[in-house]
Amino acid sequence: MIKKIAVLTSGGDAPGMNAAIRAVVRSARSYGLEVIGIHEGYKGLVEGGENYEPMTRKSVTDIIARGGTILGSARLPEFPQPEVRERGIQQLKEHNIDALIVIGGDGTYAGAKRLHDHGIRVIGLPGTIDNDIAFTDYTIGFDTCLNTVVESIDKLRDTCGSHQRCAVVEVMGRYCGDIARSAGLATGAEFVVTNTDNNDLQTILEKTKTFKEQNKRHPFIIVTEHLFDVHDLARKIEDYSGYETRATVLGHVQRGGKPSSYDRILASRLGLAAVERLMEGESGVCLGVQSNQIVATPFEEVIGKSKNLFEEYDDYIKLLC
Ligand code: ADP
C-alpha cells in the first residue's frame, strides 16, 4: 500500500506544470496520502535536504493559473550514471517515499525508466511545449505555447504587411513539427519548414520566388528550430526572391505565460490519474491523452520515439495559402 508519494518537474519547463503539481498534491491528500514536492528535478532528488518539501493542500493554492513550475526544474547530466542514481534512490528510501510522479519530456522519462528498473514505483506525465512525446495527442504546455506563437505571428503579420516583407519565423519544437505546422495553419502562413518536410534550402528559395511571381504581399515562412540559421536563411531568400526579408526567433517567450484552459484541464486530469494509477499498483508507464481518453504506455515504448501528429496540415497550408 502506498502511503507517501513524491512529485518533481524536470527538463524544459512548460505552462501547466503547476496545474499538474496541484492536481497531484490535492488528489493525493484527498486520498489520505502524504506528498513530498521535490525541488529542482533529478538534481534535487539526488541532493536531498531542503529539496524535499512536504506539501499540503495549501502549498498549491493559487498556482493553477501560473506559468513555469513552483518546484523548479534543473538538468542533471550525470543522472544516467548508476552511482548518481543510487544516491537518489537512497534519498527516496530515507524519506520513506513509496512512489514518484515525474513531469517532463523524453529525457525525464529516460531517467524515470531507470528508476523503475531499480524497483522504484514511478509514473510519468508529459510536460513539454514541444508536443514531441509519442502515444499522447497533446503534452501539457503545447496549447499555451501555440497560442503564444500565434499571437506573436499575428503581430508580425501586421508590420510585415505594411512593408511588403517576407517573414521567416523560427519556433520551438525540438525535433517535432507540431508547433510549426499548427501555428502555420492557425496564422495562414504560406510555408512551413519542419524536420520531415520542406527543409531543403533550394525548395524554400524556389517557393519564395513563386510567391513573388504570384504577387503575394508578405509571405510567412515558419521554421522549426535546429534546421537553419534563420538570419542567414532570410538573407538567402532576399537575394533569391527579391523580397525584403526579416527573420524573427521567438525563443523562450514560447515557454512562458499563464497556461491555457486546455492545458490546465489536461494537467489536472493527468495529475489525478497518475495518483489513482499509482494507488492501483501501476508503475513504469507514462500517461497521455488519446481521443480525449487518458492512456498509459510503458516508458520503453515511448522513449526516443518521434511523433508528427499534424503532418496533414502541410497539405491544408498548401491549399489555403
Ligand atoms: P526533457 O525531459 O524535457 O526531455 P532533458 O532531456 O534535459 O529534458 O532531461 C531532463 C533530465 O532527465 C536530465 O537533466 C537528466 O537528469 C535526465 N535524463 C535525461 N536523459 C537520461 C538518460 N538517458 N538516463 C537517465 N537520466 C536521463
Q: What is the DSSP string of 141-172?
A: THHHHHHHHHHHHHHHHHHHHHHT-EEEEEE-
Confidence at residue 309, expressed as pLDDT on a 0 to 100 scale: 84
The residues assigned a catalytic role are 130
Provide the mean pLDDT of the chain: 96
Ligand 1 pocket, residue 108 CB under 6 Å: yes
Say yes or no to pLDDT of 307 above 90: no
Which part of the chain has CATH 3.40.50.460? 143-256
- State the Cα–Cα distance between residues 16 and 128, nearest whole angstrom: 9
173-197 mean pLDDT: 95
pLDDT in tens, 71-86: 999 999 999 999 999 9
Q: Quote the cell numbers at residue 74.
A: 534543473
- Among 9, 10, 13, 307, name the best residue to mutate to test ligand 1's pocket (greatest count of ligand atoms within 8 A of Cβ): 10
Residue 106, ligand 1, Cβ within 6 A: yes
**Could you tell me which CATH number the domain at 143-256 has?**
3.40.50.460
- Residue 194 backbone dihedrals phi, psi, to 5 degrees: -130, 175
Atom 12 (ligand 1) nearest CA: 108
User: What percentage of the chain has pLDDT greater than the value 90?
Assistant: 94
Q: Which atom of ligand 1 is nearest to the CA of 11?
A: 8
> How many angstroms does the Cα of residue 77 sit away from the middle of ligand 1?
7
Domain with CATH 3.40.50.450 in the chain: 4-141+259-302
What is the residue with the minimal CA distance to atom 14 of ligand 1?
75
Rounded to the nearest angstrom, the distance between the alpha carbon of 126 and the centre of ligand 1 is 13
CA distance 292 to 105: 20
pLDDT at residue 161, rounded to an integer: 80
- C-alpha 315 – ligand 1 centre gap (Å): 34
The finding on whether 76 has its CB within 6 A of some atom of ligand 1 is yes
What's the farthest any 2 CA atoms get from each other in the chain?
69
Cα 206 to Cα 219, 220, 244, 245, distances in angstroms: 13, 14, 16, 15
d(CA 183, CA 149): 7
Average pLDDT over residues 3-11: 97
Q: What pLDDT does residue 181 have? A: 97
**Parallel/antiparallel/unpaired status of strands 99-104 and 4-9:** parallel
**pLDDT-derived band of residue 47, with 50, 70 and 90 as boundaries?**
very high
pLDDT per residue as tens digits for the range 117-173: 999 999 999 999 999 999 999 999 999 999 999 999 999 999 888 888 999 999 999
Tell me the CA–centroid distance for residue 102 and ligand 1, in Å.
Answer: 11
Tell whether the model's pLDDT for residue 205 goes beyond 90. Answer: yes
CATH class of 4-141+259-302: alpha beta
Q: What is the pLDDT of residue 321?
A: 86
pLDDT at 313 (0 to 100): 94
